[in-house]
Structure 1
């Protein structure tokens, strides 16, 4: 990438730092793509050889003195042709035409380039770090996406909880209905086993993952952050000090404390029940 490891010419501090972030994101994407490309180059010929060996082994072991069934033969032939074509195309675009962006470049080289780009971004950001007042002022502008993220995760866990509860209700009711209807010969006995298994799995999953508690904590944190953001915007208590710098510092400290509390609650939910009681 042109200019990734060179100096970014001109532009404001914000534009330069944004460009660094774009370059880093682009390198991460290129590494993912390159991994898939390298995997395909090595895996496809191996699968081709394995398919041929399996087909030959099946012929010797099962149909040594007779013809292989057409259906089985067609499966092996089609699989071998597809793998052979994929192998040829990959070798062509990698070694002959070099169609791929990073053809001939190893994943290790891309990782090194990414590491250098991240190091340069850190050094540049440190050199151009704005004063604390500016950072605190920009902090408030980064909160709306955080509130949206918290509420989106809260909705996800709330929907998951509702889905699990409805499956639990339906399965529990179906067990009684099937038992009363069939009394229970086959195949009703298999249905009862499946429903009982479903109830057990959902109950255990709900107790372990606790989606309802996670949804409540996320929604509560989002509401609290929004409440403080509104109070800061309106200049009401506790952000009614005459100095704006004092209000900004208090606002940033309060929000970070709430986010730390949210992370602690998430960690407590991930612990076993005994561990939660010891933490509390």
Structure 2
């Protein structure tokens, strides 16, 4: 098995264990949570009967809702118990504590680290592999930038429409008593959108992400074409300068994200 295949196999083992831990947590939650929900449902039913319908009968609609919900919970409990204790079980890790899977994950991570240290390729090969990883990172940044740009545009359009609607409704209803509820809702919408835009700053996030993606794309193209700033005759030197520059861009992007997550006073102190 080649070095690449060995490292990929270890990564697959770690990813598989992480997914198995998630699945097992859901299974354990269902095994213990469903019976508890049944008990809570019966207690709620009895409490409603004792405090609300003590002297009268419970409405048939309420009875049907509780009966259907209890029937669903009982079926789910039986199905989960069969899946957990049957042999063979349809579940991948029946009767396996989550802590055992976590221990297996820790051991797999340790094996991966040791094998990666033993099978680590030369520096130039790692830098070349890093270069091939950058297009995916650029695509991710641009995707996030488009997402925040769309959120910003949606918030702006809602703000425009709500602000204009307030004036229109006020002018249409004079005095505005019949439309008081609409005016309250529109004013609430304007306030919420304005506060959310100022707090989450989707426009600034979209701009920063797009700027970082464009800069990384520019350096990737420069490396492939052999133009400035990566014009060394030695490929090793070009790859080293490329990796250093891209990591600097990513560090700047993380710093800008942290500044956007801070309050305004904190941003001024950082700047």
Q: Are the counterparts in 2 of residues 154 and 219 from structure 1 also a CA contact under 8 Å?
A: yes
Counterpart in the other structure of 1:222:
213
Residue aligned with 1:100, SS: coil
Return the TM-score normalized by structure 1: 0.93
Counterpart in the other structure of 1:261:
252
Measure how far apart 1:53 and its partner are: 2.1
Q: List runs of 5+ in structure 2 lacking aligned partners.
A: none
Pairing partner for 2:70 from 72, 77, 80: 80
- Residues 242/174 of structure 1: CA separation in 2 closer, same or farther (3 Å cut): same
Return the TM-score normalized by structure 2: 0.96
Q: Are the counterparts in 2 of residues 158 and 215 from structure 1 also a CA contact under 8 Å?
A: yes
Pairing partner for 1:137 from 125, 128, 131: 128
Matches of 2:257 and 2:242 in 1, distance apart?
23
Question: What are the within-5 Å matches in structure 2 for residues 91-240 of structure 1?
Answer: 91-97=81-87, 98-240=89-231
Matches of 2:55 and 2:266 in 1, distance apart?
66
Pairing partner for 1:58 from 48, 56, 73: 48
Q: Are the counterparts in 1 of residues 170 and 176 from structure 2 also a CA contact under 8 Å?
A: no
- Residues 119/184 of structure 1: CA separation in 2 closer, same or farther (3 Å cut): farther
Matches of 1:274 and 1:157 in 2, distance apart?
24
* Higher mean C-alpha deviation, range 243-252 or range 62-71: 62-71
Matches of 2:251 and 2:214 in 1, distance apart?
15
Residue-pair matches, total: 270
Counterpart in the other structure of 1:67:
57
Q: List runs of 5+ in structure 1 lacking aligned partners.
A: 1-10
CA RMSD of aligned residues (A): 1.3
Give yes or no for the alignment of 1:38 onto 2:28.
yes
